[in-house]
Amino acid sequence: MLERDPKTPLLTRADIPTATGLIDPSSVFNPGAVHFRGRDYLMLRVQARSRATSLVLASSTDGRSFKVAEACVTFEGIESEARTIHHIYDPRLTAIGNQVVVIFAADMDDACRLGVAVTDDMQRFRFLGFSEDASRNGVLFPEQIGGRYLRLERPNGTTTAGGVATGDAIRLSESTDLVHWSLVGAPVLEGRWRYWDELIGSGPPPVKTRRGWLHIYHGVATHFASSNIYQAGAALLDLQDPSRVLARTWDNILEPREVYELTGQVPNVVFPSGWLVRDLDADGFADEASEVLVYYGAADTCVARCRTTVGALLEACARVQQ
């Protein structure tokens, strides 16, 4: 249902220009994606051999062949944060109004928090602030609903045996200024223990269809002795009240199968973090025939891409448990 691109992986560490100052990095993965003012952009997570993380933009006119920028992204104003920020990673990009909003994870000594930055030209990014609570995988809806910005996020309520803070519930939160966020309602999606999506987190920002908000998320199966397996699934949320789940795939729709997904820095990982949905009408609804290009991190090592259609994803959501 999701067809991998024949040119895979799409981007590897060899594609990062030395002009970025990132010399011989270890890996490039988990990109955010957005279509803005006629161009396609990826915001890549690049990891140096120190394990420090930087974000680098890549741009394209067809979503297939990307030119990687020669400088790292900087968030202007982030230096005013008093706490030490060790890593900034896994950005999700949403075009809303005349701007692009970036929501990213930031590892600090006591917690991982979500930060927000905005740009109106994809060159200068202005930092707006961090939320206080420990959370990851924040994705902004592409329009306000009921006069508020809405995002899905995954509070870090669980700690793995290895000490990693993670979680098994995707929640909705709202804001009037993109800076202050409050969780609303009950969890939208919860992990399904013993199946493919025990721990979960949002993938790219939801896309509006006539049938509901289409969303893809990652799920982690933790019950295999030697390795967690990261896979992807889809869900459909109510248009007016996105805390209502209309449908959710029972099977995963993408799982590690290719060598570059099965082996690497963290084996057995597909981590969708960006997508480009080609055909939206004037009201922002995606056409069911629209092509969807999904960008994902493979084995925390490289960036891969697969394609499908909005209609195929909607159909997968509706497929019932066997």
Residue numbers at the binding site for ligand BMA (CB under 6 A) = 30, 89-90, 166, 230, 266, 269, 271, 297, 300
What type of residue sits at position 165? A
Contacts of 261 (CB under 8 A, 6+ apart): 268, 269, 270, 298, 299, 304
| Distance in Å, CB of 89 to ligand BMA, minimum | 6
| Distance in Å, CB of 79 to ligand BMA, minimum | 24
CB-nearer residue toward ligand BMA: 246 or 266 = 266
> Rounded to an integer, what distance in angstroms lies between the CA atom of residue 217 and that of residue 194?
17
| Distance in Å, CB of 199 to ligand BMA, minimum | 8
> Rounded to an integer, what distance in angstroms lies between the CA atom of residue 220 and that of residue 24?
30
Q: Are 243 and 185 in contact (CB under 8 A)?
A: yes
The residue sitting closest to ligand BMA, measured at its beta carbon, is 266
| Distance in Å, CB of 298 to ligand BMA, minimum | 10
| Distance in Å, CB of 69 to ligand BMA, minimum | 21
CB-nearer residue toward ligand BMA: 25 or 297 = 297
> Rounded to an integer, what distance in angstroms lies between the CA atom of residue 36 and that of residue 38?
6
CA separation, residue 279 to residues 118, 155, 159, 295, 297 (Å): 24, 32, 40, 17, 24
CB-nearer residue toward ligand BMA: 96 or 266 = 266
Q: Are 162 and 179 in contact (CB under 8 A)?
A: no
CB-nearer residue toward ligand BMA: 153 or 174 = 153
> Rounded to an integer, what distance in angstroms lies between the CA atom of residue 211 and that of residue 33?
23
CB-nearer residue toward ligand BMA: 75 or 230 = 230
Query: What φ, ψ does residue 108 adopt, rounded to 5°?
Result: -115, 175
| Distance in Å, CB of 230 to ligand BMA, minimum | 6
CB-nearer residue toward ligand BMA: 170 or 314 = 170
Q: Are 316 and 295 in contact (CB under 8 A)?
A: no
